[in-house]
A and B are shown apart, each in its own frame.
Chain A
Amino acid sequence: MNLTHLIWREIAHRRLNFSLMLLSVVLAVACGVSAVTFLRAQALFNEQQVRGLDDEIRKITKDMGFNILILPKDENLSDFYADDFGARTMPETHVQSLAASRDVFTIRHLRPALIRKLDWPEQNRRVILMGVRGVVPFAHRNPKKPLADPVPAGKIDVGHLLAQEVDLQPGQPLTFLGETLEVNKIYPPQGNKDDITVWIDLDKAQQMLDLPGKINLIQALECNCNAIDRLAEIEAEVSGVLGDQVQVIELATKAIARAQARTRVSDEGAIRLKRGRRIAGTIIPLTIVAAGLMVGLLSLANVRQRRQEIGILRALGMRSGQVFRVLLAKPAVIGIVGSLIGYLVGFGAALAMESGWRLGEIHESAVRSLFLFPVLGVVFVLTPILTVMAGWLPALYAAGQDPADILHQE
């Protein structure tokens, strides 16, 4: 016979009292755990959605190419849109300046270009000539896979429609503005001006057009940043390096729409999570306080019910410290058992809610991704501390009672 035996026998004897205390703790823990787990599930769902949109953006931008154009400041945009190219030029060194800057973060993949719409006298047709160089890497960033390959010297890339009309094949020689070039690549149909464009090495284009060291366009790809006015941010960064000699335009693209959708999904998810956290932040403390009160009141009822027993045990020589320990052991046991059962119930409820109560569709991977050992640890440590705190005053009251008073009254 020892105190542990006494504790277990009492718990087994007063099952209703024990069950009610346990139930209140299980409900409080389950409420907290299910809220935390459900919020985590929501956060993971949001992340997954955002990741999906990120992938989509990546795929679209990969197919689409550059969506930021940097033009000379004095370029007339009306003419640019009407003619598909700019008449004004700027030094090619602008590209190197941007690539060397440590203050440019919002754009990637810089590519200088010299564009003209001109006659191809050998074929008696009008084409767009685009002199390009390979992508210029940023000096202070990790190199990325180039978005576009350079056109090797002596070669020419041809748009789909043009190649079809002139009947060109890769490897075939052709004459362009008096220069003999070999067809390097024929692009698939794009459904835009690219279909009547030819691409050659920038040096060769500058030489043909008698514009050495000049370009009229820098192409770039904007990063997927969360800024509300991204274009203004890009402009600010570029003008920080090149002063007011250039202007920046953004091509409205599917990628931008996707990027905006991604930002919206991310923002809405964050708002939903914030709201959920606020609700949980109110409900969880309330349930903890309610459970604590319940445990405290039931402990008080329990010690009042055990008044005679406490009196006789004290008369038999049990010390008040022993009585205190016996009375506190019950809330401690309830805290330990309640935390484990409550965690399982709460976790299960959150999984069920997350699956729309289709229990058969809960996957092991979902269980693994939502299970958080630190949450279990905190629940397992904190719950017994709280239940012991709730039972502290009733136990103190009982241990401090005068056994003579009890026996006198009994």
Chain B
Amino acid sequence: MTVFGTAMLLELENVSKTFSRNGHHIPALRDFTYRIEPAQFVAICGPSGCGKTTLLLICGGLLRPETGAVVLYGHDLYSLSPENRAGIRSAHIGFVFQQFHLVPYLNVLDNVLAASLGLRLDDAAQRKQIRQRAMELVERFGLADRAEHLPAELSTGQRQRVALARAMLNRPKILLADEPTGNLDADNSNVVWEYLREFAADDRAVLLVTHDSAAAAQADQVVHMEAPSVEAD
């Protein structure tokens, strides 16, 4: 396991990723190095196809890079087994997507609680505690009166708030957000930015990927990407 520095929350060291399609090699990332400290809100900004989502999936332990290392909270993600990586993801990483990706047959509260399925909650007290936290999040995100509703019965803004609540359930160290306001109007977008800033301020971190410079401007730090090279502010 490689540990670059204990003060860092997420470290990417010379990360490269290439996709092969129809015999062609398409570079998505080349020797990407970056570090995120606690309480940072970082935006990766770039046009479609520049490798933003690839970077996010690599940071989330979902996509193994060809070269380089990804260390999250002291764990070299890709030296771990897939099962252990899933455990790290469940405990330390929160995901928010543009399409929300809510489970269509679970109500709001259960969708938030879905994030706890990967945790090993052995006793009833732990299960009660996580349920309590889910209810608090639902309330905090203004969804208390919608707790029993299915995603199809919610507005887009409400769905994204459910996705945010789900991402925060396990108190992750880092939140990875892929165009989280891409489908939202200005008012709902502002609500999301507010929550993300609040989350980062709690000694955690947010890594946002977006093609929208206005959205990127909400972050403390912006990294511009142009496929396959990377340029930092």
Contact = CB atoms under 8 A, between A and B. Distances in A.
Please classify the interface of chain B as helix (H, G, I), strand (E, B), loop, or mixed, using the class held by over half of its residues.
Answer: helix
A402 B86 CA distance: 12
A319 B106 CA distance: 19
Tell me which of B83, B106, B127, B170 has the highest count of chain A C-beta atoms within 10 A of its own C-beta. Answer: B106
A309 to B, nearest CB: 5
B91 interface: yes
Interface residues of A, number: 30
A361 interface: no
A2 B60 contact: no
Interface string A314-330: 11111111100000000
Contacts of B118: 316-319, 322
B82 to A, nearest CB: 7
A322 B104 contact: no
B41 interface: no
Interface stretch (A5-13, A32-40, A88-96, A273-281): A5-13
B115 A404 contact: no
A14 B105 contact: yes
B95 A9 contact: no
Nearest to A403: B62
Contacts of B63: 404
A312 B176 CA distance: 13
Contacts of A9: 105-106, 110
A6 B87 CA distance: 19
A348 to B, nearest CB: 33
Given A314-B86, A316-B89, A316-B166, A3 B117 contact: yes
A308 B104 CA distance: 10
A317 B62 contact: no
A319 B104 contact: no
B62 A407 contact: yes
> Which of B90, B110, B114 has most A Cβ within 10 Å?
B114
B110 A5 contact: yes
A1 B114 contact: yes
A314 B118 CA distance: 8
A316 B89 CA distance: 7
A364 interface: no
Contact of B115 (A6, A314, A317, A319): A317
A9 B151 CA distance: 13
Contacts of B82: 320
A368 interface: no
B147 interface: no
Contacts of B104: 13, 309
Contacts of B91: 317
A318 B117 contact: yes
Interface string B168-192: 0010000000000000000000000
Interface string A286-318: 000000000000000000000011011111111
A363 interface: no
B101 A1 contact: no
Contacts of A402: 62
A6 B106 contact: yes
A408 interface: yes
Contact of B113 (A1, A12, A318, A404): A1
B110 A315 contact: no
A85 B117 CA distance: 99
A2 to B, nearest CB: 7
A122 interface: no
Interface string B105-121: 11000100111111100
A318 B106 contact: no
A11 to B, nearest CB: 9
Contact of B89 (A5, A13, A315, A407): A315
Given A13-B104, A320-B82, A315 B117 contact: no
Interface string A396-409: 00000011100110
B110 A1 contact: yes
A322 B87 CA distance: 12
Nearest to A308: B101
A198 B170 CA distance: 110
A167 interface: no
A319 B110 contact: no
A317 B95 CA distance: 10
B72 to A, nearest CB: 13
Contacts of A10: 105
Question: Which of B82, B103, B131 has the most A CB atoms < 10 Å from its CB?
Answer: B103
Given A1-B134, A318-B90, 7 more contacts: A1-B113, A6-B103, A6-B106, A12-B105, A316-B90, A316-B114, A408-B57
6 nearest CB pairs, A to B = A317-B90, A317-B118, A13-B105, A1-B113, A404-B63, A312-B101
21 contacts: A1-B113, A1-B131, A5-B110, A9-B106, A9-B110, A13-B105, A312-B103, A314-B86, A315-B89, A316-B95, A316-B118, A317-B86, A317-B117, A317-B118, A317-B170, A319-B86, A320-B86, A403-B62, A404-B63, A407-B57, A408-B54
